[in-house]
Structure 1
């Protein structure tokens, strides 16, 4: 997936679940659409140039993950959420 590819907003319920994860600073098990799997502490959601990102702390390093590149995330409190497009 090219970084210049058009952004496709995610489902509102999935966004709300990510927002809650950020508010609670939850550590999520994330699977990206490219197959990468990682553990990341959700810290914030931002929007830049009409593209939404999850700000996450991955092993002490801050990363911006495009929301439409996340396939799923899970946490014991939220269960597993498979991201859908709106």
Structure 2
């Protein structure tokens, strides 16, 4: 996965759900478009050079995931959200 491919902003409602997950430090199951599945705590959302990232805490390691690389995320509190682009 190249970091140079053009960033596609995600739907505002999906972004809002991620923001809520970060505020509550929810444990999310993230399914990436590559097929990889991560279980990690949502920590923060950041934007760098017009690309948005979800900061997650995975067993003490901090990872950044491009929002447009997330296929879906879920947590019992918010259900499953299938990410769509704007």
Is the pair's TM-score, using the shorter chain for normalization, greater than 0.5? Answer: yes
The residue that corresponds to 1:4 in the other structure is 4
1:76 aligns to 2:72 (yes or no): no
TM-score by length of 1: 0.98
TM-score scaled by length of structure 2: 0.98
CA shift, 1:60, in A, is 1.2
The unaligned stretches of length 5 or more in structure 1 are none
Q: Does 1:35 align with 2:30?
A: no
Counterpart for residue 62 of structure 2: 62
In the aligned structure 1, how far is the partner of 2:38 from the partner of 2:65?
Answer: 11
CA RMSD of aligned residues (A): 0.5
Unaligned runs of 5+ in 2: none
| Runs of 4+ with >4 A deviation | none
1:59: Cα distance to partner? 1.6
> How many residue pairs are counted as aligned between the two chains?
86
